[in-house]
């Protein structure tokens, strides 16, 4: 019997039991749609994180004071004063893999302008900080080397600070705001960057020369951290090694001593977050994949019932010349038709649901073509795998016994 006739017979058999066929498909539809939606959400989250890290500077390197034991007591990073201005100068002069270096010191407090106030922190930074963090000044200007050397009480503010302090719509540039009773002249406003993936407002920032914050706000001589940027993302590892070598030499650490500083790169953060989102995506896909298995069991169950119901029909067909392979092929075609049709509907619903999540919940999604083909391929294999046993049982029936069956 040729394939066309087998296909027509299988299609007719499914058409005779439309509702039962639909219920059998439902498991496959839900499974495929769930897998595509979950993968789209997982991959969308990964892309969003990578994009935001890239905006922050994918070649950025952060250096912070490290933990250290003194007198048997482990000191926390906040208690350490291991980073000095000499370290900053050494990195600027000796590091060949760095495009920029900036010291960082910060203090939290209340910003006041007129009757308005807003709680936030002020960061003391160097000239390269804006380039390292990929920040741009929308209006006004940034502070200069002269301002840093003079410890000038000037600052550049973010959009959130500007909106909360200057509620009347006036231009902040040239105005004087107070931070813990210390006046700062606003010389620039940063371009808005919005919220990052951690939910932090990137516009609630105030930047000032690091020397100003050291002397006039914190009264310290050490620095709380260093922000650097490698020449390229590929040179990040080499830059990290170079930084570690220079700082260990500056701090006179022996080979057996632990680093009294921590060097972390955005590349490491990106890799860590990507592996976490990949794990979550796989977990979500596995949970959704259970629906495919349940759908496959549904196909097996319905095909088994169908074989039992059509035992006499099978016997009659075999008695007039149908071979076991013909019967096997017919029931396999039925199983594959159910799974493929369910897969197509599932793909459409899955893609639609993914975009529904994007527009209704504002979640980032990214549908990769391989996830659609994978889901479709898995549902086809599911149809063959779970349809094989009932089809083989039908093919192995004895024609005489099948005709006698009631």
User: Are 110 and 203 part of one and the same domain?
Assistant: yes
Distance of alpha carbon 279 from alpha carbon 133, whole angstroms = 29
Mean pLDDT in residue range 312-318? 82
Q: How confident is the model at residue 48, as a pLDDT?
A: 80
pLDDT of residue 79: 55
Mean pLDDT over the full length of the chain: 85
126 located within any domain: yes
| Cβ count near 20 (within 10 Å) | 13
pLDDT above 90: residue 287: no
Confidence of residue 182 (pLDDT cuts 50, 70, 90): very high
**Strand (E) or helix (H) holding 152:** none
User: What is the mean predicted confidence (pLDDT) over 356-383?
Assistant: 85
Residue 84 within any structural domain of the chain: no
What was the pLDDT predicted at 405? 66
108-127 residue pLDDT tens? 999 999 889 999 999 999 99
Q: What pLDDT score was predicted for residue 323? A: 82
What's the mean pLDDT in 209-227?
A: 92
Domain identity same for 37 and 123: no
Same-domain check for residues 221 and 277: no
Q: Domain end: 205, 232, 259, which one?
A: 232
Question: In terms of domains, do 297 and 399 share one?
Answer: yes
pLDDT higher than threshold 60 for residue 78: no
Domain identity same for 17 and 131: no
Confidence of residue 129 (pLDDT cuts 50, 70, 90): very high
- Contact (Cβ atoms closer than 8 angstroms) between residue 337 and residue 21: no
294 and 201 fall within a common domain = no
Is residue 245 situated within a structural domain? no
For residues 161 and 102, membership in a common domain is answered with yes
Give residue 80's pLDDT.
66
* φ, ψ (nearest 5 deg) of residue 83: -95, 125
Q: How many residues does the chain have?
A: 406
Q: Please check whether residues 283 and 203 belong to one and the same domain.
A: no
**Amino acid 197: pLDDT:** 59
> In this structure, is residue 24 part of a structural domain?
yes
Q: Which of 209, 232, 255 is where one domain is finished?
A: 232
Domain boundary among 177, 205, 232: 232
Q: Region 191-199: what's the mean pLDDT?
A: 76
**Domain of 107, in residue numbers:** 98-232
Residues 6+ apart with CB under 8 A from 273: 46, 49, 53
74 or 304: which leads in pLDDT? 304
Please indicate, yes or no, whether residues 287 and 167 belong to a single structural domain of this protein: no
240 within a domain of the structure (yes/no)? no
pLDDT band at 188 (very low <50, low <70, confident <90, very high): very high
Cβ-contact 275, 361 below 8 angstroms:
no
Of 78 and 147, the structure prediction assigns the larger pLDDT to 147
Residues of the chain above pLDDT 70, percent: 92
Distance CA 204, CA 225 (A): 20
pLDDT band at 267 (very low <50, low <70, confident <90, very high): confident
- The C-alpha atoms of residue 96 and residue 282 are separated, in whole angstroms, by 41
In a domain, 334, yes or no: yes
CA angle 174, 180, 183 (to 5 degrees): 25
Inform me whether the pLDDT recorded for 312 exceeds 70: yes
Query: Cβ-count burial of 17 within 10 angstroms (0-12 exposed, 13-18 middle, 19+ buried)?
Result: middle
User: pLDDT (tens digit, 9 = 90+) per residue, 157-179?
Assistant: 999 999 999 988 889 999 999 99
Domain count, the chain: 2
Same domain, 102 and 29: no
**pLDDT for res 45:** 82
- Number of neighbouring beta carbons within 10 Å of residue 371: 23
Does the pLDDT of residue 53 top 80, yes or no?
no
Average pLDDT over residues 313-340: 84
Residue predicted with more confidence, 380 or 87 = 87
Q: Mean per-residue pLDDT for 301-328?
A: 82
Domain membership of residue 67 (yes or no) is no
Same-domain status, 217 and 309: no
pLDDT higher than 60, residue 28: yes
Judge whether 224 lies within some domain. Answer: yes
384 shares a domain with 292 = yes
């Amino acid at each position: 019997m040729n394939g066309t006739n087998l296909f027509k017979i299988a299609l007719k058999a499914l058409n005779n039991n439309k509702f039962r066929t639909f219920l059998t498909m439902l498991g496959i539809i839900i499974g495929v749609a769930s897998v595509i939606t979950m993968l789209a959400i997982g991959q969308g989250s990964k892309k969003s994180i990578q994009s935001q890290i890239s905006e922050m500077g994918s070649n950025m390197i952060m250096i912070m004071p490290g933990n250290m034991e003194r007198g048997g007591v482990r000191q926390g990073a906040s208690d350490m004063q291991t980073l000095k201005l000499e370290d900053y100068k050494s990195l600027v002069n000796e590091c060949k893999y760095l495009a920029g270096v900036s010291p960082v010191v910060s203090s939290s407090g209340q910003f006041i302008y007129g009757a308005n106030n807003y709680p936030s922190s002020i960061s003391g930074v160097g000239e390269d900080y804006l380039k390292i963090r990929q920040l741009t000044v929308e209006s006004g200007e940034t502070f200069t080397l002269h301002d840093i050397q003079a410890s000038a009480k000037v600052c550049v503010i973010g959009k959130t600070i500007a909106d909360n302090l200057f509620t009347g719509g006036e231009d902040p540039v040239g105005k004087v705001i107070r931070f813990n009773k210390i006046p700062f002249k606003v010389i620039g406003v940063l371009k808005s960057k919005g919220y990052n993936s951690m939910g932090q407002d990137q516009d609630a920032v105030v930047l000032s020369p690091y020397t100003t914050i050291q002397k006039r706000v914190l009264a310290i001589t050490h620095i709380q951290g260093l922000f650097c940027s490698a020449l390229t993302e590929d040179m990040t590892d080499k830059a990290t090694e170079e930084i570690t070598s220079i700082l260990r030499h500056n701090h006179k650490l022996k080979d057996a001593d632990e680093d009294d500083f921590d060097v972390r790169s955005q590349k490491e953060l990106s890799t860590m977050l990507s592996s976490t989102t990949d794990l979550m995506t796989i977990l979500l896909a596995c949970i959704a994949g259970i629906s495919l298995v349940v759908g496959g069991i549904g196909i097996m169950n319905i095909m088994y019932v169908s074989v039992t119901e059509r035992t006499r029909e099978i016997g009659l067909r075999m008695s007039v010349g149908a071979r076991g392979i013909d019967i096997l092929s017919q029931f396999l075609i039925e199983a594959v038709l159910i799974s493929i049709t369910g897969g197509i509907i599932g793909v459409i619903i899955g893609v639609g649901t993914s975009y529904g999540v994007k527009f209704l919940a504002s979640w980032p999604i990214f549908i990769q073509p391989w996830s659609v083909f994978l889901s479709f391929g898995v549902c086809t294999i599911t149809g063959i795998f779970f349809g094989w046993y009932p089809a083989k049982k039908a093919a192995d029936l004895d024609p005489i016994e099948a005709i006698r069956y009631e």
